[in-house]
């Protein structure tokens, strides 16, 4: 990374920069040319993006915006340090992001950029642990519903062998000598059904109460929403705990899916909660664009930043008042370009009238739920109604489902349906992304050539227990900000019917793959 006193006279190509400034998950596989989430660093117009709960391929508009910013960085490189340009552009993005989040007028709220949602969790845990004298106990929901590296990040351990700023580290090794205890709570049962909310809340209260009684400070994570669309623990439960122990408990809202409205996000910050978001899930920016929003009640406790963040955070990732905090003055141009692309999607989404957004999401949900409930090859993974209790914002689009997880079942006429196991489901997931028109002789011809040729990307399979002794995972069909914009109609998009038809075609191809197996 370029240091503040260096002048950079050249930059890698935009596609390469989009894979820089993150851990090993963003690196491209040498054979496929895809990152760990199955995405290339350039647009793929022939791939129908329905997997925003995992990641989305960068759009043409997003790539063009990133490319223009890269050209500007290159033009400035001869006359100013790279880190100076990085800080200035990141401040611009910070201001615009605050407007989209509906918080430009909230005094004292800091926006800290992070390479990923996992990095945001690590930063949150480190600053809280550094600010309190008591030992820290972090409480989170199961990794299958949040992220594989979240537990390590909260516990203060490296979650990858490479950090956001390029340091090579030993995965799972601690960042500091302080030990952070992590308690994990399941929010689904062994059969994949959601645990009753009251049961989850009761376990959270029990764990938190025990930790507090032992003199620990509690960092409680509230997921809104999880990989399969759940909220846990309930906002009502979290609010009661926080009000009872405002000095001994800190709340982190994991909103990394960013499937919440500005009003909901604003309400969480008003409560005094930290909020982690990303531009790479619902907003469909490229993978690895995270941010952590800090309310004043948190920043007032943090007098200085811990040295453990040196390999994860650049000075300019923090607002100006933090930039004498000892972090390295470097430029993470990959993070900068990814957020520029994400903002391109956000501008288009937030230009849509909220009422129309809600109307489309309602129609999309009705169509998809009906198909999943009526087709014997699918079974909707049970979920719960979005309920934020007293935090709820009337008539907000974020009360509607945008992630639709479902199990796959073998075709057959017998009375007992047999689910596809995890390996079989993964095979369908990967083949769904391929043009299979050339393999028509190997199948039974039930699907037209046009459908076999279409390529669809859904959310990666999520482990969800077992059915009838068969370990299963769920695919996830997702609606995104990009889908919403496209649904607003021609000439820019497909219209409501067109977007729904694309999702139905994805389910048609899955059904064909199951029958043809």
Residue 78 to residue 482: CA distance in whole angstroms: 36
Q: Specify whether the backbone of 100 is left (phi greater than 0), alpha (psi in -120 to 50) or beta.
A: alpha
| Bridge partners, 99 (sequence order) | none
Residue 276 to residue 224: CA distance in whole angstroms: 10
Contacts 24+ apart (CB under 8 A), 195-200: 197/232, 197/233, 197/234, 197/384, 197/387, 200/141, 200/232, 200/233, 200/234
- Encode burial over 362-386: b for 16+ CB neighbours within 10 A, e otherwise: eebeebbeebbeebebbbbbebbeb
**pLDDT at residue 8 in the model:** 47
Contact criterion met (CB below 8 Å) for 170 and 161: yes
Residue 7 to residue 20: CA distance in whole angstroms: 19
**pLDDT at residue 364 in the model:** 98
Q: Where are the alpha helices (DSSP H) in 214-250?
A: 235-244
At residue 289's C-alpha, the angle toward residues 285 and 295, to 5°, is 120
Q: Please spell the DSSP secondary structure of 428-494, one letter per residue.
A: HHHHHTS--GGGGGGS-S-S-HHHHH-EEEEEEEEEEEEETTEEEEEEEEE--HHHHHHHT-TTTS-
123-132 pLDDT, tens digit per residue, is 999 999 999 9
**pLDDT at residue 446 in the model:** 65
82-188+195-344 belongs to CATH 3.40.640.10: yes
Residue 514 to residue 517: CA distance in whole angstroms: 5
Low-confidence ranges of the chain (pLDDT < 50): 1-8, 441
Domain edges within the chain:
82-188+195-344, 352-516
Contact criterion met (CB below 8 Å) for 36 and 288: no
Residue appearing with tokens 């796959």: 408
Could you tell me the two tokens for 295?
């309310």
**pLDDT at residue 413 in the model:** 61
The set of residues, in sequence order, having a beta carbon less than 8 Å from that of 255 and lying 6+ positions away, is 224, 225, 265, 268, 275, 276, 277
| pTM of the entire predicted model | 0.95
**pLDDT at residue 6 in the model:** 40
φ, ψ of residue 140 to 5 degrees: the values are: -140, 165
Residue 154 to residue 240: CA distance in whole angstroms: 23
Strands 249-254 and 47-50: unpaired
Contact criterion met (CB below 8 Å) for 259 and 402: yes
286-332 pLDDT, tens digit per residue, is 999 999 999 999 999 998 899 999 999 999 999 998 978 899 999 99
**pLDDT at residue 440 in the model:** 59
Please tell me the chain's helix, strand, coil percentages from 3-state DSSP, rounded to the nearest 5: 40, 15, 40
Nearest to 433 by CA among 453, 449, 419: 453
């Amino acid at each position: 990374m370029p240091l503040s006193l260096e002048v950079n006279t050249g930059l890698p190509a935009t596609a390469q920069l989009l894979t820089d400034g993150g851990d090993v998950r963003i690196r491209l596989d040498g054979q496929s040319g895809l990152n760990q989430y199955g995405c290339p660093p350039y647009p793929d117009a022939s791939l129908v993006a329905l997997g925003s709960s995992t990641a989305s391929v960068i759009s043409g508009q997003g790539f063009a915006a990133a490319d223009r910013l890269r050209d500007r960085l290159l033009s400035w490189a001869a006359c100013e340090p790279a880190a100076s340009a990085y800080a200035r552009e990141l401040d611009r993005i910070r201001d615009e992001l605050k407007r989209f989040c509906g918080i430009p007028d909230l005094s004292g709220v800091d926006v800290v950029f992070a390479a990923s949602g996992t990095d945001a969790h690590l930063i949150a845990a480190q600053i809280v642990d550094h600010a309190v004298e008591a030992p820290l106990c972090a409480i989170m929901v199961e990794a299958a519903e949040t992220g594989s590296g979240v537990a390590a990040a909260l516990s203060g351990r490296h979650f990858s062998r490479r950090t956001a700023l390029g340091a090579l580290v030993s995965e799972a090794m601690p960042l500091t000598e302080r030990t952070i205890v992590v308690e994990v709570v399941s929010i689904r049962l062994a059969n994949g059904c959601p645990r009753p909310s009251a049961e989850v809340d009761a376990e959270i209260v029990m764990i938190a109460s025990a930790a507090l009684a032992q003199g620990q400070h509690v960092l409680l994570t509230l997921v809104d929403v999880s990989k399969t669309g759940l909220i846990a623990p309930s906002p009502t439960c979290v609010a009661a705990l926080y009000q009872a122990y405002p000095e001994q408990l800190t709340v982190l809202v994991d909103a990394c899916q960013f499937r919440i409205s500005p009003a909901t996000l604003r309400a969480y910050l008003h409560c005094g909660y930290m909020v982690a978001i990303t531009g790479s899930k619902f907003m469909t920016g490229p993978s690895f664009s995270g941010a952590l929003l800090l309310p004043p009640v948190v920043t007032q406790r943090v007098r200085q930043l811990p040295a453990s963040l040196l390999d994860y955070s650049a000075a300019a990732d923090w607002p100006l008042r933090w930039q004498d905090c000892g972090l390295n003055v470097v430029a993470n141009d990959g993070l900068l370009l990814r957020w520029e692309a994400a903002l391109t999607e956000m501008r288009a989404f937030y230009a849509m009238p909220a009422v129309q957004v809600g109307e489309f999401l309602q129609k999309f949900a009705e169509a998809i739920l009906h198909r999943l409930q009526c087709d014997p090859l699918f079974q909707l993974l049970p979920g719960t109604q979005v309920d934020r209790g007293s935090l709820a914002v009337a008539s907000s689009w974020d009360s509607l489902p945008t992630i639709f997880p479902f199990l796959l079942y073998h075709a057959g006429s017998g009375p007992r349906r047999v689910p596809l196991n995890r390996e079989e489901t993964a095979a369908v997931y990967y083949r769904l992304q391929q043009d299979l028109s050339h393999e028509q002789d190997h199948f039974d011809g039930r699907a037209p050539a046009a459908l076999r040729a279409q390529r669809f990307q859904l959310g990666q399979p999520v482990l969800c227990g077992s059915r009838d002794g068969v370990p299963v995972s769920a695919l996830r069909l997702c609606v995104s900000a990009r889908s919403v914009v496209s649904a607003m109609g021609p000439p820019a998009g497909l219209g409501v019917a067109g977007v729904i038809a694309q999702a139905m075609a994805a389910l048609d191809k899955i059904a064909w793959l199951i029958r043809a197996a």
